[in-house]
Amino acid sequence: MREEFIVRQKYLDKIKPYINKQIIKVLVGQRRVGKSYVLLQIIDAIEKADKSANILYINKEDLAFDAIKTAVDLDDFVQKNTKSGVKNYVFIDEIQEITEFEKALRSLLLNTDYDLYCTGSNAHILSGELSTFLSGRFVEIPVYSLSFNEFCEFHNLENTNETLQKFLKFGGLPYLKHLSLDDKIVFDYLKGVYNTVIYRDLIQRHEIRNTAFLENLVRFLADNTGQLFSAKKIGDFLKSQQINMSVSQIINYLNYITNTFLIRKVKRLDIAGKKVFEIGEKFYFEDLGLRHSIRGFRQADIGKILENVVYNHLLSSDYEVKIGQVGNMEIDFVAERGGEKVYIQVCYLLSDEKTIEREFGNLLKINDNYPKIVVSADNFAGNSYEGIEHINIRKFLSEWK
């Protein structure tokens, strides 16, 4: 019996135009964000549309498929289970676990009897190998943890401030719908997910020996979520803690971490000169619950948390996001989609004139006509200030698409 699941329609809508097309559909994202269930949604849609469909489903986290270790093994399995005279739909979950998988995909793609789908949890392996061997013959579809609206739906909760607080604390990993939203229960589960990412996707894959440094680096990023820094600045901090690592080693470790999608790196953009800076970036967590499983959920961090959740919402809404800079002033996010742009400042509360002047004043320095927004937790949000819209965080997460 297949487990019942809640359809994440936005992902199904993105994939549907490519069904039965000679192009590989690649779903990418951090472990446990729900890529496998998106595959099941696709299978359901195909089975309803094509009653003769032959479905081949390979889950590399299932011991039943442990014998499929190489491209040759993968090709052999598919060939042995292929049916003639019908369309064969091949689904491979966590394909990065198969050595040289891209060679098998390239070979299978030559046969129009196959329609290929796969998921992966490593950005470097997928983008590198697929770009090299299958340039122009695959489409990459990012899958993210639940948005706030999805969180409400999955947990059958009303859209209230109390529900928002739960979302900010526990994050949006889909499996939480099966658990009581109790601190100990949730964070025990999230720590298990975090350990899987750290030990399976980082330590084992990259044969990392200095595991203590790796975990200290992740904690540092959790402590400094949304802070602007460079590898050198991280190195200087670590030296103050009697930890010596070269800048090149730190950069390598940062790349390993971001390739798992656990943390995302956001570059800075000079808004006036439209130049992307080579140094100085920010890091945000794919899932806030995982951040809190490392750092703990503290009200003192609410400003960082709100900034992170706005960034995540923009990503899942298909915006390309950068940090903006106007002179020596910072714009939290410059979000672009379909040739349009929006500038966003995020703060906890507009509690005094100095805060109001900083958040709105920075946006007023931008000399173009694209929308400019300040997002905060203030209940009176809804007005505008010199043409800049002020939106409450819950309204932004619920309605901004």
Instruction: Locate the domains of the chain by residue range.
Output: 9-142, 148-399
Query: Using an 8 Å Cβ cutoff, are 122 and 201 in contact?
Result: yes
Q: Which two tokens stand for residue 211?
A: 């595991």
Per-residue pLDDT tens over the stretch 261-289: 999 999 999 998 678 876 789 999 999 99
**325, 308, 316: which is closest to 375 by C-alpha?**
308
Task: Judge whether 308 and 291 are in contact, CB under 8 Å.
Answer: yes
Sign of CA dihedral 21, 28, 141, 339: negative
Distance of alpha carbon 42 from alpha carbon 44, whole angstroms? 5
The secondary structure of 315-329 as a DSSP string is HHTT-EEEEEEETTE
pTM listed for this prediction:
0.94
Query: Long-range pairs for 208-215 at CB < 8 Å and ≥24 separation?
Result: 208/253, 208/256, 210/245, 213/238, 213/243, 213/245, 213/253, 214/253, 214/257
Give the span between the Cα atoms of 289 and 190, in whole angstroms.
7
The span from the CA of 148 to the CA of 154, in Å, is 10
Over residues 311-362, the pLDDT tens digits come to: 999 999 999 999 999 988 999 999 999 999 999 999 999 988 999 999 999 9
- The whole-number pLDDT of residue 2 equals 53
Among candidate residues 292, 40, 302, 96, the one with its CA nearest the CA of residue 310? 302
Mean per-residue pLDDT of the chain: 93
Structural contact between residues 218 and 234, judged by C-beta atoms closer than 8 angstroms: no
Q: Which CATH superfamily is domain 9-142 in?
A: P-loop containing nucleotide triphosphate hydrolases (3.40.50.300)
How confident is the model over 114-141, as a mean pLDDT? 86
Q: What is the mean pLDDT of residues 217-221?
A: 92
CA angle, corner 328, sides to 324 and 333, nearest 5?
15
**Structural contact between residues 222 and 296, judged by C-beta atoms closer than 8 angstroms:** no
Q: What is the mean pLDDT of residues 90-119?
A: 95
* Over residues 159-178, mean pLDDT: 98
> Quick one: how many helices (H) and strands (E) in the chain?
16, 15
Q: How far apart are CA 21 and CA 30, in angstroms?
A: 26
Closest listed residue to residue 367, CA positions, set 290, 292, 271 = 271
- The helix (run of H) or strand (run of E) holding residue 79 is helix 71-80
Distance of CA 90 to the CA centre of its chain: 25
pLDDT at position 125 is: 76
Cα gap 107→78, rounded to integer Å: 11
Contact 272, 149 (CB under 8 A): no
pLDDT (0 to 100) of residue 274: 74
Phi, psi of 184 (to 5 degrees): -65, -45
| Residue 383 tokens, joined | 């007005």
pLDDT digits (tens, 9 = 90+) for 245-263: 888 888 899 999 999 999 9
End-to-end CA, the chain: 35
Q: Cβ(294)–Cβ(223) under 8 Å?
A: no
Residue-wise pLDDT for 364-383, tens only, equals 999 999 999 999 999 886 78
- pLDDT beyond 50 at 210: yes
Per DSSP, helices labelled H in 205-364 are 205-206, 211-223, 231-240, 247-259, 288-295, 302-316, 353-364
Which residues touch 387 (CB under 8 Å, ≥6 apart)? 372
Task: Report the pLDDT averaged over residues 225-246.
Answer: 81
Please give the torsion angle defined by the CA atoms of residues 306, 312, 317 and 323, in that order, rounded to the nearest 10 degrees. 80
The pLDDT value given to residue 1: 42
| In the chain, % of residues over pLDDT 70 | 98
Q: Percent of the chain beyond pLDDT 90?
A: 81
